[in-house]
A and B are shown apart, each in its own frame.
Chain A
Amino acid sequence: MSWVDVCSIDDLQPNSGVCALVNNQQVAIFYMPKEQAIYAIDNYDPFGDVHVLSRGVIGDIQGRPMVASPLYKQHFDLETGQCFEDDTVKVPVYGVQINVGRVEVTLDGAAQ
């Protein structure tokens, strides 16, 4: 696994998302401080054909962490990338970790 240093944990938006450029790939990173949870998925919204998922509202649906697309409000599972409304649509998810106050992302083994 090759981890890429992205930003400081202070650069994240609590209970919201930011976008990072990792090897020219747009990665949406979401942070839930209360749960101490951090997620990374692709920033591309397959329904709107634009890169905006990092700007969606996050939360959970039936216990699964999710982000709602800011354009047309489809929901995506933050752990698997699965779209809740359409079984055939899945966005890539990426590895993300916090290492001594720094946020690191890996594109290796991205689940398609």
Chain B
Amino acid sequence: MSKKQTLVVIGNGMVGQYFLATLMASESKGDYHVVTFCEEPVPAYDRVHLSEYFAGKSAADLSLVEAGFFDANHIMIHLGDRAVSIDRVNKTVWSEKDVEVPYDKLVLATGSKAFIPPIPGHDRENCIPYRTIADLDDMLAAAKTAKVGAVVGGGLLGLEAAKALQDLNLDTHVVQFGPRLMSAQLDDGGAGMLKQKIEDLGVSVHTNKNTIEIVDGESCQHKMMFADGSELEADMILYSAGIRPRDEIAASCGLKIADRGGITIDNHCLTSDPDIYAIGECASWQDQTFGLVAPGYAMARTAIDHLAGREQRFTGADMSTKLKLNGVDVASIGDAHATTPGALVYTYQNGVDGVYKRIVVGQDNKLLLGAVLVGDASAYPTLSQYYSNGINLPEHPDSLILPSRSGESVGLGPDALPTAAQICSCYDVSKGDICSAIAGGCTTLGALKSQTQAGTGCGGCAALLKSVLDCELEKAGIEVNTDICEHFRYTRQDLYNLIMVGEIKTFNTLIEQHGSGKGCEICKQAVGSILASYWNEYVLKEDHLGLQDTNDTFLANMQKDGTYSVVPRMAGGEVTPDMLIVLGQVAKKYGLYTKVTGGQRVDLFGARVDQLPLIWKELIDVGFESGHAYGKSLRTVKSCVGSSWCRYGVDDSVGLAIELENRYKGLRSPHKIKFAVSGCTRECAEAQSKDIGIIAVEGGWNLYVCGNGGMRPRHGDLFATNLDKATLINYIDRVLTFYVRTADRLQRTSVWMDNMEGGLDYLKSVIIDDKLDIVQQLEDQMQRVTDSYQCEWKTTIEDESKLKRFRTFVNSDKHDENIIFVEERGQVRPASQEERADLKLAGTA
């Protein structure tokens, strides 16, 4: 075959994008020239978490497409252009903008649209479907004047929409046609409990209300008229009363459509045309459509396998679901309504704590058929494993839902799961996949996640993932050795606690009391860092001097040729012309290579050890101070120019950056720490790629934590929104001190977060809700550190005895003659090995 086939994908929603990403990660990557149409102006985004748009997430946060994805994979995407017709005879697709694309294979991933009840007044102003980012922007506009909002539909999405209305500070109502909320997933008992809990959160729930007309209201813009004669007034009305498959393009080209809507597909996801597939919510398999993403993803995988000639069948989907609605845990598994003939039911209801649990089991009391959990979904992982793997139930199945008061565990041990058991349903990762990753060396939760992707989707399987990991490690007899090195049988965190509790101030005391031998560069540097972050004494004090990392011992960064670089602090990247001139003069005087760093300051390279105090003296005399570029410590707080100059600036990002940099400068930590402050959501300071990122918004400051650039980029997690400055600084004090206390050595905040059990929610509970009752301690410790700040270079040049160390030779004033520079682009750089040899020859000749 000489020419590549053309594969056209219509629709770039969650399933369409999953299809593309999976195809590009497969062996078939190079087989097709791929073209895709996306009706919306933005490529695929996470529709499941739409309501987070109102809790501070941006459209970019919701995006499911990695930057550069289409370019890197040579996929032609037509954004904002809808495919409108298919000529199956000539195998060509046409779009609204008259783009014509011939295809060899075609995939329909057109999704579905919100169902809008065809009642009089349904299209009045501010009556909006809840489906797309454009809808969300309409809601934002409507919310400017609206006071009362109503959602038509009390299903899963309807309750999400209600949360969105609450986040917009509207008095919120949910109008449900039937008698119970989430009627597809919950039984009467569960739905009743959910209604009560949702109402406790301030949402009014109206069940058995059939809206027949929407008319002008009296106190509000609209009035909804119900069939029973009652009415409800609202300013904004959202439709979330179910979805309908987008099958119109398929119908118009004569593909077979199912009786209840949806494009009919077979077990390979092929439509009635052998060159056309349909996947996701637009497809109907055995007269059934699926309104969840997991079955859509399964269809995408099936279609890719079939395209590649592999035999893989779509066999229906588990519609089990677990979610948090407004903080209320809800889960549903299998036959929640006990419609299987002979099914038996166990129910546990606790009106005091607001917990409802029900399991449906087979006639023989052996197999789990379904379950409903409201208020406490902790049994979900265990129950779903019993359900999907057909594992025999314990003798008393109700033990699975009764509260365990004697402390015995009724959970299903991970050992009992078959190898094929699916642990992560988002990425279809089986227990077998996880076990082989562990056998291949992934012995931490973080490593396992990045290797297998398990637990990186909805996160619902995180606890199970951890228990599989622990169980496998134990079985393999792998005792995970967390000792920091051979001199201490402790982790870094243990050492921190020993130093704190024993009020230990020197390495010698610590190793005498708790270790053995003389130490090494690993434990010495870790302890040096702990002592510095806890006691904050001068790092070149005699007791600490031998502990310091290469760069710390001479308060400068050693370069490949043994010379050092000099980086004075320029808080927030702000510098006066006079200071900049002095910096240039010093660089010129000592012949230093000069470069602007990524952290918005200037780095001077090529200083010999004996020159360091001379250079620093000149800098300190004009007011510069140490930039701590050499330490595992706060580096810089990068900033954009902010509201002082920028036309778009919302707040003074430079001012805040300077204040923060001055507050945390000198703080020693397990690894380097970088901050950035952006003056508006255009994010020019790239704060979301920093350990601590701050973005100015209309309501105050949004705080992001644990981001990273570098080798493993990670967007920071949105930690808190609309903070005033005092609260912002309190939170940062606490997060940093908690990091300094609990991280492993050389662990960046991003990895610290990835390995934290409970993740972001746990960190919030410690920092914001003070779950561990340590917030005061954390703040006090940070205050001590900031109060005891000193410029280490100032202390050093003022102390004759310390300067003695900054000599190349203890017995001679000569310099190391092996340090040789050559010129390049008008500045110096270290000579290469060959250049050095040549220069030496020339010198002796």
Q: Which residues of A contact B523 (CB under 8 A)?
A: 59
The answer to whether the Cβ of B550 comes within 8 Å of any Cβ in the partner chain is: yes
Assess the A59–B812 pair: CB atoms within 8 A: no
A57-70 vs B: 1/0 string, CB under 8 Å? 11111110110101
The answer to whether the Cβ of A48 comes within 8 Å of any Cβ in the partner chain is: yes
Assess the B525–A57 pair: CB atoms within 8 A: yes
Complex Cα gap A20–B807 (Å): 10
Smallest distance from the beta carbon of B548 to chain A beta carbons, Å?
8
Smallest distance from the beta carbon of A103 to chain B beta carbons, Å?
8
- Chain B residues with CB under 8 Å of chain A are 486-487, 508, 517-521, 523-525, 542, 545-550, 553-554, 558, 560-562, 609, 804-805, 808-812, 814, 816, 818, 833
Complex Cα gap A51–B560 (Å): 11
Q: Which residues of A contact B525 (CB under 8 A)?
A: 57
Complex Cα gap A11–B486 (Å): 31
Assess the A55–B558 pair: CB atoms within 8 A: yes
Given A52-B558, A65-B518, A20–B810 Cβ distance below 8 Å?
yes
Given A7-B811, A18-B810, A59–B558 Cβ distance below 8 Å?
no
Assess the B811–A59 pair: CB atoms within 8 A: no
Q: Which residues of A contact B548 (CB under 8 A)?
A: 57
**Contacts A/B (CB < 8 Å), 17 sampled:** A6-B811, A11-B804, A13-B545, A14-B542, A16-B545, A18-B810, A21-B809, A21-B814, A26-B809, A48-B562, A50-B560, A50-B818, A56-B521, A57-B547, A60-B520, A63-B517, A71-B558
Q: Which residues of A contact B517 (CB under 8 A)?
A: 59-60, 63
Assess the A7–B810 pair: CB atoms within 8 A: yes
Q: Which residues of B contact A52 (CB under 8 A)?
A: 558, 562
The answer to whether the Cβ of A19 comes within 8 Å of any Cβ in the partner chain is: yes
Q: Which residues of B contact A16 (CB under 8 A)?
A: 545-546, 553
Complex Cα gap A35–B804 (Å): 24
Complex Cα gap A63–B523 (Å): 15
Smallest distance from the beta carbon of B614 to chain A beta carbons, Å?
19
Main secondary structure of the interface of A (DSSP, over half): strand
Complex Cα gap A28–B577 (Å): 43
Number of A-B contacts (CB under 8 A): 97
Residue of B nearest to A35 (CB): B518
Assess the B561–A6 pair: CB atoms within 8 A: no
Q: Which residues of A contact B804 (CB under 8 A)?
A: 11
The answer to whether the Cβ of A32 comes within 8 Å of any Cβ in the partner chain is: yes
Complex Cα gap A88–B834 (Å): 24
Assess the B809–A20 pair: CB atoms within 8 A: yes
Residue of A nearest to B517 (CB): A60
Complex Cα gap A49–B819 (Å): 11
Q: Which of B520, B558, B560, B833 contacts A61 (CB 8 A)?
A: B520
The 4 closest A-B pairs by CB, nearest first: A15-B546, A70-B550, A57-B521, A68-B521
Smallest distance from the beta carbon of A102 to chain B beta carbons, Å?
11
Assess the A71–B520 pair: CB atoms within 8 A: no
Q: Which residues of B contact A51 (CB under 8 A)?
A: 562, 816, 818
Residue of A nearest to B561 (CB): A50
Smallest distance from the beta carbon of B487 to chain A beta carbons, Å?
8
Q: Which residues of A contact B812 (CB under 8 A)?
A: 20-21
Q: Which residues of A contact B508 (CB under 8 A)?
A: 34
Q: Which residues of A contact B814 (CB under 8 A)?
A: 21
Given A11-B804, A15-B546, A34-B508, A60–B519 Cβ distance below 8 Å?
yes
Complex Cα gap A71–B804 (Å): 22
Most buried by A among B521, B548, B810: B810
Q: Which residues of B contact A12 (CB under 8 A)?
A: 810
A21-53 vs B: 1/0 string, CB under 8 Å? 110001001001011000000000000111110
Complex Cα gap A45–B690 (Å): 35
Smallest distance from the beta carbon of A71 to chain B beta carbons, Å?
7
Complex Cα gap A4–B810 (Å): 13
Complex Cα gap A52–B524 (Å): 19
Complex Cα gap A34–B512 (Å): 12
Complex Cα gap A50–B550 (Å): 14
Q: Which residues of A contact B553 (CB under 8 A)?
A: 16, 55
Smallest distance from the beta carbon of A51 to chain B beta carbons, Å?
6
Smallest distance from the beta carbon of B600 to chain A beta carbons, Å?
28
Q: Which of B487, B550, B811 contacts A71 (CB 8 A)?
A: B550
Q: Which of B518, B550, B561, B816 contacts A56 (CB 8 A)?
A: B550
Assess the B810–A11 pair: CB atoms within 8 A: yes
Most buried by A among B487, B523, B550, B554: B550
Smallest distance from the beta carbon of B814 to chain A beta carbons, Å?
6
Q: Which residues of A contact B550 (CB under 8 A)?
A: 55-57, 70-71
Given A55-B550, A59-B519, A70–B486 Cβ distance below 8 Å?
no
Complex Cα gap A16–B544 (Å): 10
Assess the B546–A58 pair: CB atoms within 8 A: yes
Q: Which of A14, A50, A59, A75 contacts B518 (CB 8 A)?
A: A59
Given A7-B811, A14-B542, A51-B562, A59–B818 Cβ distance below 8 Å?
no
Complex Cα gap A7–B545 (Å): 20
Q: Which residues of B contact A60 (CB under 8 A)?
A: 517-520
Q: Which residues of A contact B521 (CB under 8 A)?
A: 56-57, 59, 68, 73
Q: Which residues of A contact B558 (CB under 8 A)?
A: 52, 55, 70-71
Other than the given A20-B811, A60-B519, A75-B520, 16 more pairs (CB < 8 A) read: A6-B810, A13-B805, A14-B542, A14-B545, A15-B545, A16-B545, A18-B805, A18-B810, A19-B809, A20-B810, A29-B810, A51-B816, A55-B553, A57-B520, A68-B520, A70-B550
